[in-house]
Amino acid sequence: MKKTAFCLPLLLLAAGAAQAQDMAGCPQLPAGSDLIWEHRATGDADFCRALRADGTEAFGLYISREATFEPKRSNREEAGAIDGHEIHWYRAELVTKPNIEARETLIELDDGRVAHIWLQAAPGDPLQSAFEMAGNLRFGADRQIAAGQ
């Protein structure tokens, strides 16, 4: 009996994580990332935060009709790709976290909306890992519809 009572909460937790990964309005998370989405929809926009098991943000994004970020060429850092879209990461400054690298980028989606993606990580391997996770996002046609529509 104790074994069954113990397994039920784990099954519910696993089901909740699977549901969070398939959150309408957010892109598909990288396979095996153990991340879950926190999602909020407002009108035709979606706000998504990819959270680690400890509740910290791995990266976030905002999908809307209008870009919410204006890249400055002087802040351009790394080149990359996300879901087949060639992108450039732009440096952002975090005054309260001087030892953390912050980057952001824009992707024009097939449905005409724009995804503003940001991430924060320690320099070196953690930053490269964050780029890799963001690079493995998938924005399928069924993922680009706001949850409220």
How confident is the model over 98-126, as pLDDT tens digits?
Answer: 889 999 999 999 889 999 999 999 999 99
Whole-prediction pTM? 0.78
pLDDT attached to residue 64: 96
CA–CA separation, 60 and 98 (whole Å): 20
pLDDT attached to residue 98: 84
pLDDT attached to residue 23: 61
How confident is the model over 39-51, as pLDDT tens digits?
Answer: 999 888 999 999 9
Q: What is the side-by-side order of every strand in the sheet holding 57-64?
A: 36-42, 45-51, 57-64, 114-121, 101-108, 85-92, 76-82
Burial class (CB in 10 A: 0-12, 13-18, 19+), 47: middle
Residues in the chain: 149
The helix (run of H) or strand (run of E) holding residue 80 is strand 76-82
* Confidence band for 135, pLDDT divided at 50, 70 and 90: very high
**pLDDT beyond 70 at 94:** yes
Q: Is the dihedral of CA 129, 131, 135, 139 positive or negative?
A: positive
As given in the structure block, the two tokens for residue 145 are: 């519809």
pLDDT attached to residue 3: 42
Q: What is the mean pLDDT of the chain?
A: 81
How many helices (H) and strands (E) the chain has is answered by 2, 7
Start-to-end CA span in the chain (Å): 44
